[in-house]
Structure formats: structure tokens, C-alpha cells
Structure 1
């Protein structure tokens, strides 16, 4: 073989090797870039999902805190309305005037706050809110009965009997309030409001 032909053949083999090497290198680089991009995209998507979960938990915690505050404020408003009924009933029958009915609206406000807790609260808070709702509702019914007897001037003994039934209902309501408050405090103090 002559030297010129050997040089051309060597150049051709070198050229094929260089082109083949470049093609293989290019394919490997493309594959590596694609794998890197997919990994980065998955990591970004996971980060976005994690951040969304954290944001949701913060939102839920805020909703729970507001719901607990609303329920406790409704409880306090009901208690104030009950005091107004008690003051009205303690007056002489002649100056008693019209019975305050604001406590009925306070019961409705309490129910609305309780329903929000049923939506956003954890199981324990929902349960304690339901117990408090039942106790408040029982008290409200007994208060209504007693107030009607006072308004109708049904006799001291009958009125006194109805008044006595209010005491255990009020005690049950206060106990349920304290248990709910304890549970709400626990939930709010728990990381991420679980």
C-alpha cells in the first residue's frame, strides 16, 4: 500500500471515529441533560406540593383558631344574655316588663360557630364542641321554661322548681365549656394544628 493511500485511510478512519465519538458523546450529553431536567422538574413539583401542604395547614390552623374564638365569644354572649334574663326575673313581678329575648339569638350564633368547628376542627374539637352545644341547648330550654313561668306569674313554688333545674344545666354547660377550652388550647398549641 502506498503511503498516500494509507494516509487517506487513516484520515477516513479518524474522521469516522471522530464523528462517531461526537455522535455518541452528543447522545450521552442529551440523555444526561434530559435526566437532569426531569429530576429537577420532579424536585420542583415536590417542593411546590410540600409548600402547598404547609400553606394549607397554616390556613387550616387559622380557620380553627378563628372558629374557636367565635365559639367562645358566642358562649360569652349567651352567658351575658342569660344574666339579663336572670336580672329581669329577679325584679318584682309588677316592674318586670318584657322578658329579654336576646338569649335566643345568642343560641343561634353559638350554633353557627359550632357548625364551623364541625367543618374545620379535628375530631376531638368537634366532639367537645358538640358536647358544649348540647349542654348550652339544654340550658337554653330550661331557661326558656323558667322565664315563661316567671312571665306568667305561675306561682312561687312552680317558679322556684324551674329555677332549681337551671343550676345543674348551668353547671353542665360550664363544665363542657372548660373541657372545650382545654381541647381548643391543646389543638392550637400542637404543631400544625393536628
Structure 2
């Protein structure tokens, strides 16, 4: 009987050991599977982060390059054809069209970021738009002043000056003839009043033409002063762009260099 009890106890303890061992092994296997799963999830997460960073960097690179392409196009147009056209109309104004493209690409940078690059891009786009606005102001001033002034000088002042000169030359010729043929005091000559009247008329024509010429000169002088002020405004705007361009380039390079994390 005693041997039977001892045998049963041994069997029970042996079974318990087996169960405990199995449980320990199961827990170890579960823990290993959990750790493996966590490692896999972390690896997938890390890879996704890297892939997203690569994608973001590529999108930013394309956006920055597109923006600078529009910027270079604007500068090329400014250097080659000046600043023509009406800011309110796109048709026939290649600089306005290029400025609009630059603004669109600045908006894309605003979406992709970062804020430092987007801010510099927006400032550069604003600078080009101001160029167009200033150019439009200069064009409006020119069109409202020069055609009328040029027409007045061509159709009125120049003929008036020519008429005054011809009248004076004719009066001088008559006076010389009168002096040459006169054998008595000049004021006693019967044609003297006629010649003196011609001289006075020529002088009046000359005075009127001079007044016209001075008025034209004043108009042109005022125009040149106003145009010079606008040109100085344009130059200040363009000078300020150099610093903004450096700011954009530096921020863009830093962003592209730091976008992709280390694997």
C-alpha cells in the first residue's frame, strides 16, 4: 500500500512538472511571439516613416525647383523685355503670366512647408508682383503723359517755332531791303510801318512759340521726375529681393538635407 501511494505521488509530481514546464514554455513562446510582433510593427513603422520622409523630400524638391524655375523665368523676362503690360490683364503680358505661375508654386510650397521656406517663397512672389504693379504704374504714367506731349510738340509747338523763325527771317529780309533802298531816315520811308509791323508780328510769334516750348519742357520735366521716382521704387524692390532669395535658398537646402531621418 505504501508503495502504491508513493507511486501515485511520483506520478502526480511528474505530471505537475510537465504541466508547469509546458506552461513556462508556452509563456516564453508567447512572449517571444509578442516581442517578434512588436519588432515587426516597429520595423514597419520605421520603414513607413522613412518612406514618408523620402516622399515628402521628393515633393518638396519638385516644388522648390518648380518655384525657382518660375522665378528665373520672371528675371529673364525682366532682363529681356522689360516690364510691359497691364497688371490687371494677363493677355499679352508674359511677365504677368510668369508671376502668376510663381504665385501658384509658392502656394504649393505653403502646403508642403516648412514655414520658413514657404514664407521666403511668398515674399519672393510678392516682390515679382510688385515689379509688375510698379511697371504698370510707370506704363500708365507714360501713356497718360507722353503721347499728348509728343503730339502737342509735333503738331503745335514745332510748327509754331518754325513759323516764328520764318516770320523773323522774312521781317529781317524786308528790313535789310528797306535799309538798302532808303536814302532818307528809316522812319520816313513809306514802307517802314509795314516792315516794323512784320518785325513785331514775328516777335509775337516767337514769344508765343517760346511759351509753348517752355510749357512742353515743364510737362516733360514733371514726367521725368515722376518716372524717376517710380524707377527708384522699382530698384529698391529689386535690391531687396537678393536677400530674400538667399534666405529661400538657405532654408530650402537645410530642409532638404534634414527631411530624411537616419535609418
TM bucket (normalised to shorter chain) is 0.7 to 0.9
SS in 2 for 1:154: helix
- Matched-pair contact (CA < 8 Å) for 1:85–1:100: no
Deviation at 1:145, TM superposition (A): 2.1
Q: Distance in 2 between matches of 1:13 and 1:64?
A: 75
- Matched-pair contact (CA < 8 Å) for 1:81–1:102: yes
Q: Distance in 1 between matches of 2:72 and 2:242?
A: 11
SS in 2 for 1:133: helix
- Matched-pair contact (CA < 8 Å) for 2:56–2:259: no
1:154 aligns with 2:131: no
Higher Cα Rg: structure 1 or 2?
Answer: 2
The structure-2 alpha-carbon separation of the partners of 1:6 and 1:113, relative to structure 1 and needing over 3 Å to count, comes to same
Q: Distance in 1 between matches of 2:249 and 2:40?
A: 41
Structure 2: segments with no counterpart, 5+ residues: 86-90, 147-222
Runs of 4+ in structure 1 deviating by more than 6 angstroms, as ranges, are none
* Alignment partner, residue 108 of structure 1: 100
Task: Give runs of aligned pairs for residues 29-108 of structure 1, distance below 5 A.
Answer: 29-86=25-82, 100-108=92-100
Q: Distance in 2 between matches of 1:23 and 1:87?
A: 90
Q: Distance in 2 between matches of 1:87 and 1:29?
A: 82
SS in 1 for 2:145: coil
The structure-2 alpha-carbon separation of the partners of 1:103 and 1:168, relative to structure 1 and needing over 3 Å to count, comes to same
Given candidates 106, 116, 121, the residue that maps to 1:129 is 121
1:177 aligns with 2:245: yes
1:141 aligns with 2:137: no
Question: 1:42-96: per-residue Cα shift (whole Å, max 9, x none)?
Answer: 121112111111111111111111111111101011112223432879xxxxxxx
Structure 1: segments with no counterpart, 5+ residues: 90-98
How many residues get paired?
179
> RCO (CA 8 Å, sep 6+): is it higher in 1 or 2?
2
SS in 2 for 1:192: coil
Q: Distance in 1 between matches of 2:24 and 2:126?
A: 70
Query: TM-score under structure 2 normalisation?
Result: 0.60
